[in-house]
C-alpha cells in the first residue's frame, strides 16, 4: 500500500500486533485487545504517515546521566528523589517492577511486584525516600515501596478504577488521578477524577468532574481523561489526555477541592514531524511543574514535550523527536537541579509508523532544559610549554553550584612549579587556589583565583605567606564538557620586608595581613595564558572496568 509516497506494508504491521499486544501497554496500564488494535492501528498508520517527515536522530548532548537508557519492558512512571536517584516503573514481561537509577545512570531493581499485569503506572517519592506506584489490573491500587524494596498496598486504593499518576502536596497528602471510573469489563465508564490519601490515612474520593473525563472510546477502547498531575502553590494541575487540556483545581484550606477550570488548551506542536495529523489529535500524558510554576507536559501524539509559562500561559516546545530520542513520551520528572528533565518512553511507534531510523523504543530519556552550560562539577586540565610540548602544569578543580550567577571554585595543582619556588626558595608549600566564577552570558564567565606559597610552620604555630598568585580572566564553554580559559597569572610578594633582609622582591606588600596584593602593587612576575579544561566523566560502577 502506498500512502502519500510512503510504502506501508499492512501485513508487516499486522504481523507485529501480537508482539505489540504482549509488550506494550495502554495508558493507565490496561492492555488492548487484538481486535481493537487491528481496527485502529491501520487508521493510526495512515494518519501518521501522511504527516511523517523523514528525519534522522540528531545528536543529543549528554551529561553524566545517559541521554537514553533502554528498558526491558515498558516504562511508565518516573520520579526523582532528593538524593538525585531516578525511579522508573516498568511493566516487564513477567511482572510490574520499580527500578532505581543512581545520579550517574546505573540501574538496579528496587522492587518486583510479581504478577505480569502490564499495570505499572505513575510514581512519586516522599521526604523519607519511600516510592509510591500506581498499579492497574492485577491487585490494583497504590503501593508504597520502602528503600529496601518492600511493597505494601495503601488502604482504600483498591477502589480506584484506573489509578494513573501521583503528586504530593506540602503536607504529603498524596493525590491520585483516576483516568475513568466505572467498570472496564462492562464498558460502563464514568467520569474521571482524583483521589486523595492523607499521610498515614485511607484513600478517599476527592473530586470527579467533566473536565477530568475523556472522550467516547475511539483510538482506545475506553475514555482517557485525568492523567498526569502536579501540585504548586495550593493548586493541582491535571492533564486530560483525550481533550488536550491542563486543568487547574484549587486545594482549599479545609482540604476540599475548589472549582475545576481549564488552565490551558495545549496547542499543536509545529516542530513535530506529526504536526497537524489529520486523524490523530493532540493528546497529553504526564506533566510536572518547576519552582516558578511553569508546567511541562508530554504531548504523546506529537513525540514532544512543551512548557506552559506560568504567567502568560504561552507554549514553548522544549524537546521533540528526532532532536530528542522520544518515542511516545509518557511521564516527566525534573532533576534535582530543575534544569534537566527525565522522560519515560512507552515505545509505541515501532511497527506502526515507518521510519528510516529505528525508533528509540521503550526507555528512560534524559534531556537538558537550559541552553546555558552548567559548569558545576570536576574539571581537569594540562598546560604545555616549549616546541616539544612538555608538560608545564597539571591541575584538577571543583566548580560549585551556581547561585545568583556566582560559583565558588577550588583548584589543586598536581605538580611543582619551578618558577615560583625558584623565585622564592624559602617557600616550601603551595596552597590550593580558591576563587569564584561570575556568569556574564549563557556560556561565558569572568573569574578570579588566589593561592599562596608558605613556609614550614613556626614552633609557635603558623608559617609565613611568602608569595601570592592571582589568576583572573574569562572562560568560555565550547560545549557542555569543554571550557577554554584565557587570562593573566600574576605573582606578588606576601610579606612586608622594608629592610630588604629577605631580598628586594619581598618588601612590596605594605599590609600582608589582608592576604591580597595592594591596589598599587606591581607583580613580581606575570604571564598571559590560554588553557583548556575538560569535565571529568562519571566512571563505571566498581568492578566494571574502565
141 with 157: CB under 8 angstroms?
yes
What is the model's pLDDT at position 14? Answer: 32
| E-strand stretches of 18-119 | 68-70, 74-80, 86-91, 96-101, 107-112
Spatial separation of the C-alpha atoms in residues 49 and 278, rounded to whole Å: 10
DSSP 96-131: EEEEEE-TT--EEEEEE--S--S-EEEEEE-TTS-E
3-class secondary-structure state, position 263: strand
Fold of 377-535: Lipocalin (2.40.128)
Query: Are the CB atoms for 304 and 269 separated by under 8 Å?
Result: yes
Neighbours of 411 (CB within 10 A): 19
Residue among 18, 485, 46 nearest 277 (CA): 46
Instruction: List the one residue out of 17, 207, 22, 51 whose CA is nearest residue 118.
Output: 22
All three cell numbers of 273: 514531524
Domain spans, the chain: 2-368, 377-535
Fold equal for 2-368 and 377-535: no
Residue 38, SS3? helix
E strand or H helix at 265: strand 261-265
pLDDT of residue 522: 85
In this predicted structure, what is the pLDDT of residue 539? Answer: 66
- Report d(CA 302, CA 329) in Å as an integer: 9
Closest CA to 439 of 390, 385, 374: 374
What's domain 2-368's architecture? 6 Propeller (2.120)
Q: What is the pLDDT along the chain (546 residues), one digit of tens a residue?
A: 222 222 233 233 333 323 333 333 333 333 333 334 333 433 333 333 332 322 222 233 333 588 899 999 999 999 999 988 999 999 998 899 999 999 888 999 999 998 776 689 999 999 999 999 999 877 899 999 999 999 999 999 999 999 999 999 999 999 999 999 987 777 789 999 999 999 999 999 999 999 999 998 877 888 999 999 999 999 999 999 999 999 999 999 999 999 999 999 999 999 999 999 887 899 999 999 999 999 999 999 999 999 999 999 999 999 999 999 999 999 999 998 777 899 999 999 887 777 888 899 999 999 988 778 889 999 999 887 655 556 678 999 999 988 888 999 999 999 877 767 677 888 888 899 999 999 998 889 999 999 998 887 666 667 788 889 999 999 998 878 889 999 999 998 876 544 444 444 444 544 544 567 777 788 888 999 999 999 987 666 666 454
What secondary structure letter does DSSP report for 459? T
Q: How far is the C-alpha of 295 from the C-alpha of 427, rounded, in Å?
A: 57
Cell output for 403: 547561585
Amino acid at each position: 500500500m502506498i500512502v502519500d509516497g510512503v510504502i506501508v506494508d499492512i501485513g508487516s504491521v499486522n504481523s507485529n500486533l501480537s508482539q505489540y499486544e504482549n509488550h506494550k501497554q495502554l495508558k493507565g496500564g490496561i492492555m488492548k485487545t487484538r481486535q481493537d488494535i487491528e481496527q485502529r492501528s491501520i487508521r493510526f498508520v495512515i494518519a501518521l504517515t501522511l504527516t511523517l517527515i523523514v528525519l534522522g536522530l540528531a545528536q543529543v548532548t549528554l551529561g553524566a546521566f545517559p541521554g537514553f537508557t533502554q528498558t526491558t519492558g515498558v516504562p511508565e512512571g518516573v520520579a526523582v528523589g532528593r538524593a538525585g536517584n531516578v525511579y522508573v516503573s516498568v511493566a516487564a514481561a513477567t511482572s510490574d517492577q520499580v527500578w532505581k537509577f543512581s545520579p550517574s545512570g546505573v540501574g538496579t531493581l528496587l522492587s518486583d511486584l510479581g504478577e505480569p499485569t502490564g499495570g505499572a503506572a505513575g510514581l512519586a517519592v516522599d521526604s523519607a525516600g519511600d516510592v509510591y506506584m500506581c498499579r492497574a489490573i492485577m491487585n490494583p491500587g497504590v503501593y508504597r515501596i520502602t528503600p529496601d524494596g518492600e511493597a505494601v498496598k495503601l488502604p482504600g486504593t483498591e477502589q480506584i478504577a484506573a489509578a494513573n499518576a501521583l503528586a504530593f502536596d506540602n503536607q504529603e497528602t498524596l493525590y491520585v488521578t483516576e483516568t475513568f471510573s466505572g467498570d472496564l469489563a462492562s464498558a460502563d465508564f464514568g467520569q474521571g477524577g482524583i483521589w486523595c490519601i492523607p499521610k498515614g490515612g485511607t484513600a478517599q474520593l476527592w473530586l470527579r468532574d467533566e473536565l477530568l473525563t475523556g472522550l467516547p472510546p475511539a483510538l482506545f477502547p475506553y475514555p482517557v481523561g485525568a492523567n498526569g498531575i502536579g501540585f504548586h502553590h495550593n493548586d493541582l494541575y491535571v492533564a486530560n489526555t483525550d481533550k488536550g487540556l491542563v486543568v487547574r483545581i484549587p486545594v482549599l484550606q479545609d482540604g476540599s477541592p475548589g472549582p475545576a477550570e481549564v488552565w490551558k488548551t495545549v496547542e499543536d506542536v509545529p516542530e513535530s514531524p506529526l504536526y497537524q495529523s489529520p486523524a490523530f489529535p493532540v493528546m497529553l500524558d504526564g506533566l510536572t511543574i518547576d519552582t516558578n510554576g511553569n508546567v511541562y507536559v508530554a504531548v504523546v501524539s506529537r513525540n514532544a514535550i512543551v512548557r506552559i509559562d506560568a504567567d502568560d500561559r504561552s507554549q514553548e516546545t522544549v524537546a521533540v523527536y528526532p532532536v530528542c530520542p522520544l518515542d511516545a513520551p509518557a511521564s516527566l520528572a525534573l532533576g534535582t537541579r530543575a534544569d534537566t528533565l527525565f522522560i519515560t518512553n512507552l515505545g509505541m511507534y515501532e511497527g506502526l509508523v515507518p521510519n528510516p531510523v529505528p525508533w528509540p523504543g521503550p526507555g528512560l530519556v534524559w534531556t537538558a532544559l537550559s541552553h546555558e552550560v552548567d559548569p558545576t562539577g570536576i574539571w581537569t586540565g594540562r598546560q604545555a610549554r616549549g616546541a616539544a610540548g612538555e608538560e608545564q602544569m597539571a591541575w584538577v578543580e571543583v566548580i560549585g553550584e551556581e547561585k545568583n550567577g556566582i560559583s565558588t571554585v577550588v583548584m589543586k595543582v598536581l605538580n611543582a612549579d619551578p618558577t615560583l619556588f625558584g623565585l622564592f626558595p624559602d617557600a616550601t608549600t603551595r596552597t590550593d587556589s580558591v576563587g569564584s566564577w561570575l556568569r556574564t552570558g549563557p556560556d561565558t564567565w569572568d573569574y578570579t583565583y588566589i593561592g599562596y606559597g608558605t613556609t614550614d610552620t613556626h614552633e609557635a604555630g603558623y608559617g609565613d605567606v611568602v608569595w601570592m598568585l592571582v589568576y583572573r580572566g574569562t572562560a568560555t564553554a565550547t560545549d557542555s564538557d569543554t571550557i577554554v580559559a584565557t587570562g593573566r597569572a600574576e605573582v606578588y610578594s606576601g610579606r612586608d620586608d622594608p629592610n630588604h633582609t629577605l631580598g628586594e622582591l619581598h618588601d612590596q606588600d605594605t599590609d600582608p595581613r589582608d592576604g591580597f596584593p595592594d591596589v598599587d602593587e606591581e607583580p613580581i612576575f606575570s604571564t598571559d595564558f590560554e588553557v583548556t579544561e575538560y569535565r571529568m566523566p562519571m566512571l563505571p560502577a566498581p568492578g566494571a572496568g574502565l
